[in-house]
Amino acid sequence: MKKLIKALKKNNPKAQKQLFDLYAGYLYRICFRYMSNRELSEEVLSQAFLNIFNHIAGTDISEEKPLKAWMKKIAINQSLMELRKNIRFADTLDLIEEIEEAPLTTDEQLLEDDLIQMVLGLPDGYRTVFSLYVIEGFTHEEIGKKLNISPGTSKSQLCKARRILKEKIRKTEISYEAVR
């Protein structure tokens, strides 16, 4: 991996292809999580890889883990940049009082695929904030900076996302019970 990173820093095309083959799937899934659209995800991924190739020489990365984290960060930022062009986050300050800070809970052991599909099925704004908050672990302030929205809007989006997911989980639980 060290040789690969060294070659990448020298803009070696073979190394770039090797890196693409290794991490294209991983980064595509991250992009798809945010974009929820194959074509857009591919566009974002290609831009992300171009950024990776263009900026890797300026980093001091020499190990696989930091490289992976750095590439993930680039893929997420690229996705958010694309989202900012198209999504208008509705400011829902009036709902701040009703925001449920408590995480989602359920009595059922839901399947991973169901959970993933539930999240991917969320509207763009809700899904983005939910992903950033729950999966990536950003705070509302960080999310606000990244999306050029206020922390309150981020909280509102998260709240709405949770409500929708809660409803989806309830429906899924009902279907599980029906199967039993």
Partner 1 sequence: MKQSVENNIKTAFDAWDEHSSDIGFNKDTLWQSIHPNSRKSSSMFSWTRVAAAAIILFLAGGWLNAMYTNHQLKKEKLAIAEQLIQSQANTIKDTPIAELHSSEPQIIYKTKIKQVESPQTQTMLADLAKKYQSVENTNVRLQQQMAETTLNNSVLNDSIQKLLGNLHEIKEAYALQAQAIQPAKENELEIKIDEAALLALSENQLPKQGVSKSTPQKFQITLKNRMTKSESSAPLFKEVR
Residues that bind partner 1 (CB under 8 A): 13, 16-17, 20-21, 24-26, 28-30, 32-33, 38, 41-42, 45-46, 49-50, 53, 103-110, 112-113, 115-116, 118-119, 131, 134-135, 165, 169
Minimum distance from residue 162 beta carbon to partner 1 (Å): 8
- Tell me the residue length of the chain: 180
> Residue 106 is encoded by which pair of tokens?
């359920």
Minimum distance from residue 108 beta carbon to partner 1 (Å): 8
Minimum distance from residue 88 beta carbon to partner 1 (Å): 25
Residue where the block lists tokens 């809970």 = 105
**Distance in Å from the first CA to the final CA of the chain:** 49
Minimum distance from residue 125 beta carbon to partner 1 (Å): 17
Give the span between the Cα atoms of 148 and 134, in whole angstroms.
19
Cβ proximity to partner 1, 17 vs 73, nearer residue? 17
Give the span between the Cα atoms of 144 and 141, in whole angstroms.
5
Cβ proximity to partner 1, 88 vs 102, nearer residue? 102
Under 8 Å between Cβ of 130 and 122: yes
Residue where the block lists tokens 């490289």 = 67
Minimum distance from residue 2 beta carbon to partner 1 (Å): 22
Cβ proximity to partner 1, 60 vs 167, nearer residue? 167
Question: What's the maximum distance between 2 C-alpha atoms anywhere in the chain?
Answer: 59
Cβ proximity to partner 1, 6 vs 29, nearer residue? 29
